[in-house]
Amino acid sequence: MPLSGFRILDLTRIISGPFCTSLLADMGAEVIKIESPGEGDPVRAQGVIREGISWYFANYNRNKKSVTLDLYSDEGKAVLRQLIAQCDVVVENYRPGVMEKMGLGDEQLNALRPDIIHCSINGFGTTGPYRDRPAFDFIAQAMSGFMSLNGGELDPPMRAGPPISDLIAGMNGALGIVAALLRRERTGLGDSVSVSLLGSMIGLLSFQASNYFADGKLPARTGNDHGIASPYGLFETADGQVAIAPSNDVIYHKLLDALELPGLRADPRYQTNADRMRNRASIAADIQARTRQHTSAHWIERLNQFGVPCGQVLNLQEVFEDPQVRDQQMAIDVPHGEHGAVRMLGFPIKFSQAPSQPVTAAPALGADTERVLLQFGFAEQDIHGLHERGVI
């Protein structure tokens, strides 16, 4: 597996950090998740609880080991330092400055292991006037400008449903860690990687931001319409909706052939994309009058025959029953002992020569504490003492 042999110490919780480390674990890294004794990651108690386990937690924490450790105690910090010294990467999603207060700033981490890689996933960055502010996905969506671009033209700004700033920050964190590991393989040097929710969201805005940089005009919300192409969007059918995306003139004419609308080809309002953008509402109405005459399945088959990009609007039940989704194994059932099988998302990156990690269950709280400490060189009697004193 691509990351076999690398050991990750995971101090994260909630979404952004656990998603980051789950990507690394799925690619073969050994991920040791540090959790508070008795409580653990708050996500253990969130989402739908079925057969005594949060399936939400199970998705983000598969392929990991759970070690309980009281990081508020001096003994707990001492144990943590011994673990760090034998790990390749430390990942945390505390507010900036918390690691320093724990005596684990970059200088202290480098003293424990000179080639350590430290990844901080935070709200706004490790510097700047907002560095100490709390942040969640909703805040990052708002402050990044993303929300101002999302929704219909006459609607208020709208958030995306999934917590995308957490997820893209976690993805960027994993990318940064892999890049730092590659650099370390070449140079022997460690690094400190910082990824913010705000920066990650702004990094997604290249299309709208580049246009704004070029002409200084604030982009309007366009809902499901495209900002520079028409017709393009959702069209009602006899039994639902289909997304149709003819992104250039060639595909537009294929769309007219598929819909059997030769009259639109000669319509002076629709000769160029610029014409169609000026008359976006009328051409959408003309096309929708036709798509309403048949079912979504009819149009999906016909549009694909003509090479027109299209897709049916599916709910989650329909998504996971879709033959293409099944083929790509994007839903998998993972045994979780007495809790039964948990259905979770498959790994989206497909390797031909280096497959991703066979999925193992998310660990029970502290399930691996003794085994990991023994692996790291702690004596059994010392482990027993730590347990008696409530450190683990």
| Residues designated catalytic | 166
Answer whether 22's CB lies under 8 Å from 105's CB.
Answer: no
In sequence order, what are the beta bridge partners of 192?
118
CA-nearest of 108, 105, 79 to 92 is 105
The CA–CA distances, whole Å, from 360 to 29, 201, 303 equal 13, 31, 41
Answer whether 118's CB lies under 8 Å from 192's CB.
Answer: yes
Answer whether 91's CB lies under 8 Å from 9's CB.
Answer: yes
Backbone angles phi, psi at 35, to 5 degrees: -135, 155
Q: Given its phi and psi angles, is residue 202 left (phi above 0), alpha (psi -120 to 50 degrees) or beta?
A: alpha
